[in-house]
Structure 1
């Protein structure tokens, strides 16, 4: 929310379409639950609603003489020498070219701007897919289960093969989330009929199965299996007039819920660097790479390896969360809270957080890589 405060009225507008999340409820197959509370609540909101709120504030602040917004367009090519970007409407296939002084590539994990960087000298980019795949899930509201699926909490289920469900309430009382599962040798992707889907959820995630109507089961079958890729670059700028931010620069898995936060933090940091350099773009874009790379790489590392795949380490992970909470409450100067509490505080850089929890991250990394090789 720190980034939103710099624009008058934006923080209030986003809060109005958000829900507070105060903890996570872990559901067991036998119906028992355990609660992991948070010291400070998280803010949860729909990505589309956030984009609309940002666009509304943008168009309110600047009229057509200073701002031109083109919808339904995608970047297809960038010429850094001429400082030109070619755009296309995917439906009409009509191309048009725009000149720029500063090109900000915020076009996601499959960034065309970043792909154009590959033709420049000494640019390196590593793209890696996480071991799991996912499908989205959407459930109607049901007041009878509010006691077990209470609002304001992340609801989590997990099977021994690491298949898991994460659900969150939305403003209208419905629930949405993801089902994640091993990309190879999984049982979810093989579900081909609505009745198979309902049977799978009723047997493995009964609370979810109870809420799922046949229409959602049919929609679940039709949804494609998706995968998440992570991105590491050796720089985020090209020359003095092009810059990568957000997922285009450092796409991460959603495990820690920091993708949007990191993108907004990119904007805050670049704005600060512009002030420090009196809006000198040549100096600012280079400084952004220097200042942001360590934190971006640290976030990718933590997102990849904060959660263990093995059952034994996952039990240890849950215990660590509980013990960290108790010890921090008793001895706050000596013991840190859990990684998930610390990373959500804007007082800590991602590099600092990784340094605090580097032993755990290294332990999970070693274990996960062994299991991934076996699979």
Structure 2
């Protein structure tokens, strides 16, 4: 018996879920609707993207599908450490004990999509890009969709997965239903994606590959860049959301002047085409999301950022979104493939960890310089004690965050005293 599954959103969590369902359950047929263009058909410099770190937690999720972790790993770069570029003086490099896997979000989505469309075809898989979900009628089990080049249409669903990101339309429609509560918060920083071709790099510019490069700007912004291994660097410029300076950069010359003034190394490398692309790229907001449930009845479910978006401070947003598929897969196995039963249980199984990650992301890194110094000192001591005494002392936070066997809720409990202390200081303004 055929079981149709509708997924709104072709981001990492939606695509991984499609892989999982199609591999493990032959009866499922998956249809995906995505409001953006097919990323494989868009020039990379025009794509809204940002760098990601895939920890063991995220890779464990990819390993649930045969060969997928290997396909993704093949396009990642090993991040050996970081290079901080001060406003004055020489860059300072720090090497990590264990490298991290890095790539940008668009690369990850393309890899998952390529593998998905290579392995499956209609009727088991159908993917429709430039098709925006506008409304959901939960009683009639229908979606109203607006394709870019066709009239509006209404389609029926049996099971609906909202994997459409932090600004989820599925979640917005659920918010109109009785009993559903959702709190969204726009973070203090916004960002713009940045891509720079590494052509004619001056000798004095240190952009060594395999390292995360960061610049703390005098304007209050931060630039983070990674070598993509194809002759370009990609990253983001984070800046205070209310600041007009970055938002008002409207021409290539204005962009070049900005980077030459505040980030000379990138300014010396950036070409006019890169600057023009940056000027035309939209500003993106960073949104955190907290919901009292992730399901609507037993036919509709939110996953990934649609359910629990967090700030990028700990680098866990994508890893957590991918891990949602692991959790859902466990529930499906327990329910012997009954997807409606798994949907009804997902909130119970996942919410404590999602809420814990939100709290960790908001408060693990204090804004006060004194507490921030103390935090890193504590982490260095924890790392040393764990190396010397092993199980007698728990690993530092970042090691725990990477471990797929350690729930986020357990990490929060271990660091509850620290989190509460940071909260008190931030509330008091101390």
Aligned counterparts of 2:427 and 2:216: Cα–Cα separation in 1: 20
Contact 1:160 1:311 in 2 (8 A): no
Once superposed, what is the RMSD of the aligned Cα atoms?
A: 2.7
- What's the counterpart of residue 15 of structure 1? 73
Equivalent of 1:122 in 179, 195, 206: 179
Q: Is it true that 1:275 corresponds to 2:333 in the alignment?
A: yes
- What's the counterpart of residue 249 of structure 1? 307
**Cα deviation, residue 291, structure 1:** 0.7
Q: Is it true that 1:157 corresponds to 2:194 in the alignment?
A: no
Contact 1:229 1:251 in 2 (8 A): yes
Q: TM-score, normalised by structure 2?
A: 0.78
- What's the counterpart of residue 98 of structure 1? 155
**Cα deviation, residue 195, structure 1:** 5.0
Q: Is it true that 1:356 corresponds to 2:380 in the alignment?
A: no
**Cα deviation, residue 250, structure 1:** 0.7
Q: Which moved more, 1:245-254 or 1:212-221?
A: 212-221
User: Deviations along 1:60-90, whole A, 9 cap, x unmatched?
Assistant: 3333132222222111111222222222203
Q: Is it true that 1:140 corresponds to 2:188 in the alignment?
A: no
For residues 171-190 of structure 1, the aligned pairs below 5 Å read 171-185=229-243, 187-190=245-248
Contact 1:107 1:113 in 2 (8 A): yes
User: Deviations along 1:324-359, whole A, 9 cap, x unmatched?
Assistant: 443433333344444223212212111112222233
Q: TM-score, normalised by structure 1?
A: 0.88
Aligned counterparts of 2:258 and 2:277: Cα–Cα separation in 1: 15
Q: Which runs of 5+ in 1 are unaligned?
A: none
The SS at the match of 2:118 is: helix
Q: Is it true that 1:44 corresponds to 2:105 in the alignment?
A: no
**Cα deviation, residue 290, structure 1:** 0.3
Q: Which moved more, 1:237-246 or 1:350-359?
A: 350-359
User: Deviations along 1:90-135, whole A, 9 cap, x unmatched?
Assistant: 343x222222221111111111111111122211000001111222
Equivalent of 1:108 in 161, 165, 170: 165
Distance 1:160 1:230, change over 3 A: same
Distance 1:316 1:108, change over 3 A: same
Distance 1:299 1:268, change over 3 A: same
The SS at the match of 2:404 is: coil
Q: Is it true that 1:329 corresponds to 2:387 in the alignment?
A: yes
Equivalent of 2:367 in 296, 299, 309: 309
Aligned counterparts of 1:9 and 1:163: Cα–Cα separation in 2: 39
Q: Which moved more, 1:208-217 or 1:76-85?
A: 208-217
Higher relative contact order (CA 8 A, sep 6+): 2
- What's the counterpart of residue 2 of structure 1? 60
Contact 2:136 2:173 in 1 (8 A): yes
Contact 1:141 1:173 in 2 (8 A): yes
Equivalent residues, number: 371
**Cα deviation, residue 244, structure 1:** 0.5
Aligned counterparts of 1:186 and 1:294: Cα–Cα separation in 2: 38
- What's the counterpart of residue 26 of structure 2? none
Distance 1:11 1:233, change over 3 A: same
The SS at the match of 1:343 is: helix
The SS at the match of 2:99 is: strand
Q: Which runs of 5+ in 2 are unaligned?
A: 1-58
Distance 1:324 1:150, change over 3 A: farther
The SS at the match of 2:212 is: strand
Aligned counterparts of 2:417 and 2:115: Cα–Cα separation in 1: 43
